[in-house]
Structure 1
Amino acid sequence: MRELVYYVAVSLDGFIAGPNGEFDAFLVEGDHMDAINDRFADTIPTDAAAALGIRQERTEFDTVLMGWNTYAIGGTPSPYRHLRQIVFSRTRTAEAENLEVTAEDPRAVVQRLKNEDGAAIWLCGGGELAATLADEIDRLVLKRQPLLFGAGIPLFSDRPYRPERFEPVDTTAFRTGVVVSELIRRREG
Structure 2
Amino acid sequence: MRELTYYVAVTLDGRIAGPDGEFDAIPVTGDHIDMVFRDWRDTVPRVGLEAVGLEADGRRFDAVVMGWETYAAGLAATDDPYPHLDQYVFSRRHLDADVPAGITLTDEDPVALVRRLKAGEGVGIWLCGGGVLAGALIEEIDRLVLKVNPLVFGAGLPLFSGVYDPRSFVLERSTPYASGVIVNEYRRA
**Over residues 108-163 of structure 1, what are the superposed CA-to-partner deviations in whole Å (9 max), with x where a residue is unaligned?**
00000000111110000011000000110000000000000000000001x22221
Matched, 1:169 2:158: no
RMSD: 0.9
Matched, 1:85 2:87: yes
Who is 1:74 aligned against? 74
Mapped to 2, the partners of 1:5 and 1:95 lie a distance apart of: 24
1:98 CA displacement: 1.2
**Over residues 16-70 of structure 1, what are the superposed CA-to-partner deviations in whole Å (9 max), with x where a residue is unaligned?**
0000111010111111110121111011111220121122121111101110010
Who is 2:187 aligned against? 184
Give the conservation status (yes or no) of the 8 Å contact 1:30–1:176.
Answer: yes
Matched, 1:27 2:38: no
Give the conservation status (yes or no) of the 8 Å contact 1:82–1:98.
Answer: no
**Structure 2 segments unaligned to the other structure (5+ residues):** none
**Structure 1 segments unaligned to the other structure (5+ residues):** none
Q: Match of 2:104, SS?
A: strand
TM-score w.r.t. structure 1 length? 0.95
Matched, 1:41 2:41: yes
| Number of positions where the alignment pairs a residue of Structure 1 with one of Structure 2 | 185
- Name the aligned partner's letter for residue 94 of structure 2: R
TM-score w.r.t. structure 2 length? 0.95
**Over residues 62-105 of structure 1, what are the superposed CA-to-partner deviations in whole Å (9 max), with x where a residue is unaligned?**
10111001000111221111111000011213320310000100
| Identity, % of aligned positions | 53
Mapped to 2, the partners of 1:3 and 1:112 lie a distance apart of: 11
- Name the aligned partner's letter for residue 136 of structure 2: T
- Name the aligned partner's letter for residue 186 of structure 2: L
